[in-house]
A = this chain, B = another copy of it.
Amino acid sequence: MSETRTGTTPHARATDDPDAGTVPRPRPGGRSARVRAAVHRAVAELLTEGPAEHLTMPAIAARAGVHPTTVYRRWGTLGELLAAVAASRFSGDLVVPDTGSLRGDLEQWTADLATDLTDPDSIAIIRAALSSGTEGGCACTTERQEQLASMLDRERSRGGAAPTVERALDALLAPVYYRALFTPAPGTPDWARSLVDTLLPRPA
């Protein structure tokens, strides 16, 4: 059981935790993984149910069916826990498409991103992670920036021209995240696709 998603957030993802079996950590055994999954799920659930102020360490522990001491010892601060949850939630959940053309890739990827941020779960986690310093905020976007960069690089290796990562960030990532955070309506996939037109020269 590697963080089975029990219905609260039906969200497609490829791998659940990035560094699960890579580094030979002291003891990534069955129970530790189980506890971590329960705690992560508890954070997500409490974040959707009530306001962020009620998200406290004992509450998380109670929801997860775990003793509060465990949560304190493993994660230390609520901020670190939120950063960990955010990193786990926003890594490996989107796959970079390969439609053959840069435009197609970007359109599909941006639409997927916008759809992903439709989930109130995601928005709540981003908000909470942001409140705990820059690290938590970066945890929500670094993976996405890398994916964007990889698509642009692939186009260049094809021999085509591609804009800067910086400009792509400003044109695609920034609007999607801005809408999700600052407006009640997160933005539709069609709108997200149209963002690509502002980045790439028109098709022909």
Which A residues contact B (CB, under 8 angstroms)?
Answer: 51-53, 77-79, 127-128, 130-134, 137-138, 140-141, 167, 169-171, 173-175, 177-179, 181-184, 195, 198-199
Contacts and interface: CB of A to CB of B under 8 A. Distances in A.
Contacts of A175: 169-171, 174-175
Contacts of A195: 170
Most chain B beta-carbon contacts within 10 A, residue among A53, A177, A182: A182
Contacts of A141: 182
Nearest to A176: B174
Nearest to A138: B182
A148 to B, nearest CB: 13
B134 A131 contact: no
Tell me the number of copies of this protein. 2
Contact of A182 (B127, B128, B132, B140): B140
Contacts of A173: 178
Nearest to A77: B53
Given A128-B131, A131-B52, A170 B184 contact: no
A131 B138 contact: no
A198 B167 contact: yes
Contact of A134 (B132, B134, B184): B184
A68 B184 CA distance: 33
A123 to B, nearest CB: 9
A179 B178 CA distance: 10
A170 B183 contact: no
A184 B133 CA distance: 10
A53 B128 CA distance: 11
A131 to B, nearest CB: 4
A130 B171 contact: no
Contacts of A177: 174, 178, 182
Contacts of A167: 198
Contacts of A131: 52, 127-128, 130-131
